[in-house]
Amino acid sequence: MSSRTSDVLVIGGGIIGLVTAWRAAQRGLTTAVVDPEPGGGAARVAAGMLAAVTELHYGEETLLALNLESARRYPGFAAELSELTGHDLGYRRCGTLAVALDADDRAHLRELHALQQRSGLESEWLSGRDCRRLEPMLAPGVRGGLRVDGDHQIDPRRLATALVAACEHAGVVFHRTWAERLDVVRERAAGVTTADGTELRAEQVVLAGGSMSGRLAGVPDALLPPVRPVKGQVLRLAVPRRFAPFLSRTVRAVVRGSQVYLVPRENGELVVGATTEELGWDTTVTAGGVYELLRDAHELIPGLTELPLTETRAGLRPGSPDNAPLLGPSGLDGLLLATGHYRNGVLLTPVTGDVLAHALATGDLPEEARPFTPQRFTAPPPERPARLMEQSA
Ligand code: GLY
């Protein structure tokens, strides 16, 4: 079978694979991407919140540092990408308002505020009245909220399209087919065999297959990334001109324990997300999922039911055991990983491109990515002292 060679072959043309390929090509590496539909994947569904502060969770402090670093790089990244491609990315520095609808939500938000303050993050507690002053469409019952002026948004579909254009501009070659199998030659990743039997050869291979990264044939079992699909259903509505401005920033809440967020785009689109469902590879949009999102969003913004519902869609987040990405050498020579970004794929796009390209060009993983090496899931547990072993035997 014909065989084509490059310095770098990226498996997966979602935003993570594309940004890796673009940045690698900018460093002078000949780069190819294998994906039947570059620019597809979870980014076609995602709302595009850049929510390092409002999506902070207990136990995710290490991830927070990476999220903040990527948020810091976003303005320069977005400016470079849109200047190069001429594409408007819908990058909107609009801030976020997280609100509480009842006493439980309020207690939850107070806890989040305390955690944000302990983590040195900027957020301001507002009364319900002040929340409604900022966003008059909010329900009268809103009990209070957190104003986070540093959590912004980008349109992930536009981001994906611009990254395809940037890759083309940088000379990245696209193989529009599936990678069937990783080929390993003398204990080193050597490339892939595609669905039509073509062998694509490369000095280094990056597995950036999103939720599918954990099931590529040919990757040694012990090194397969522990990535699983986590379903999210998302709705898109349209805000007619006569209703504008409907919302001026992202508004979100936890309603009966479920996250709901409303992300208003400058072009009048309003994205409402998202369910979090552990259902394997299922991407069905369900009546229940749509009902719950609309019910919760309606409690927040009653006027929402007036808007045309233009799209319902489900996607699969690439979940990892600690909700953080896997970045860098896989443990098999020549194979690197860029996957497992879970809720933060859009936010982590700039930093992922930078650290992977650096690792590909120099063999060195930058400091900020070291806590996220795949080895944290594959390294054998530290040896236990002999005396302890005897006692527990
Ligand atoms: N980051 C938003 C979500 O994953 O639903």
- Dump pLDDT digits (tens) for 160-217: 999 999 999 999 999 999 999 999 999 999 999 999 999 999 999 999 999 999 999 9
More confident residue, 110 or 388: 110
Question: Do 167 and 216 reside in the same domain of the chain?
Answer: yes
Tell me, what's the pLDDT at 89? 98
Residue 177: give the domain boundaries.
Answer: 3-44+158-226+321-377
Question: Do 248 and 136 reside in the same domain of the chain?
Answer: yes
Mean pLDDT of 82-98: 98
The answer to whether 233 and 285 have CB atoms below 8 angstroms apart is: yes
Residue 243 within any structural domain of the chain: yes
Vertex 44: Cα angle to 152 and 267 (nearest 5): 55
- Flag whether pLDDT at 335 surpasses 90: yes
Question: Do 143 and 257 reside in the same domain of the chain?
Answer: yes
Band of residue 47 on the pLDDT scale cut at 50, 70, 90: very high
CA atoms of 20 and 33, how far apart (whole Å): 10
Tell me, what's the pLDDT at 254? 86
CA atoms of 338 and 326, how far apart (whole Å): 6
Mean pLDDT of 347-351: 98
- Flag whether pLDDT at 346 surpasses 60: yes
Q: Is residue 273 lining ligand 1, measured as CB closer than 6 Å?
A: yes
Question: Do 366 and 238 reside in the same domain of the chain?
Answer: no
Question: Do 329 and 311 reside in the same domain of the chain?
Answer: no
Distance 331 CA to ligand 1 centre (A): 29
Mean pLDDT of 50-76: 96
Residue 279 within any structural domain of the chain: yes
- Flag whether pLDDT at 386 surpasses 60: no
The answer to whether 347 and 48 have CB atoms below 8 angstroms apart is: no
Residue 140 within any structural domain of the chain: yes
Question: Do 236 and 313 reside in the same domain of the chain?
Answer: yes
pTM summary value: 0.95
Band of residue 2 on the pLDDT scale cut at 50, 70, 90: low
What total number of domains does the chain contain? Answer: 2
Backbone angles phi and psi of 279, in degrees to 5: -130, 25
- For residue 368, which amino acid is it? E
Nearest atom within ligand 1 for CA of residue 259: 5
Question: Do 307 and 236 reside in the same domain of the chain?
Answer: yes
Q: Is residue 156 lining ligand 1, measured as CB closer than 6 Å?
A: no
Question: Do 345 and 302 reside in the same domain of the chain?
Answer: no
Question: Do 233 and 222 reside in the same domain of the chain?
Answer: no
Q: Considering only CA atoms, which residue is closest to atom 5 of ligand 1?
A: 274
Question: Do 271 and 307 reside in the same domain of the chain?
Answer: yes
Tell me, what's the pLDDT at 393? 37
Residue 335 within any structural domain of the chain: yes
CA atoms of 12 and 35, how far apart (whole Å): 5
Q: Is residue 48 lining ligand 1, measured as CB closer than 6 Å?
A: no
Task: Please provide the size of the chain in residues.
Answer: 393
Question: Buried b / exposed e across 224-260, counting CB within 10 Å, b at 16+?
Answer: bbebbbbbbbbbbbebeeeeeebbebbbbbbbeeebb
Residue 81 within any structural domain of the chain: no
Question: Do 298 and 207 reside in the same domain of the chain?
Answer: no
- Flag whether pLDDT at 111 surpasses 80: yes
Residue 38 within any structural domain of the chain: yes
Positive/negative CA dihedral, 257, 210, 95, 111: positive
Residue 343 within any structural domain of the chain: yes
CATH code assigned at 266: 3.30.9.10
CA atoms of 278 and 155, how far apart (whole Å): 25
Count other C-beta atoms under 10 Å from residue 121's C-beta. Answer: 18
Distance 274 CA to ligand 1 centre (A): 7
Nearest atom within ligand 1 for CA of residue 274: 5
% of the chain surpassing 90 pLDDT? 91
Band of residue 119 on the pLDDT scale cut at 50, 70, 90: very high
Mean pLDDT of 99-126: 95
Tell me, what's the pLDDT at 383? 64
- For residue 262, which amino acid is it? L
Tell me, what's the pLDDT at 256? 78
Q: Is residue 317 lining ligand 1, measured as CB closer than 6 Å?
A: yes
Vertex 363: Cα angle to 358 and 369 (nearest 5): 55
Band of residue 380 on the pLDDT scale cut at 50, 70, 90: low
Question: Do 312 and 340 reside in the same domain of the chain?
Answer: no
Q: Considering only CA atoms, which residue is closest to atom 2 of ligand 1?
A: 343
CA atoms of 266 and 270, how far apart (whole Å): 9
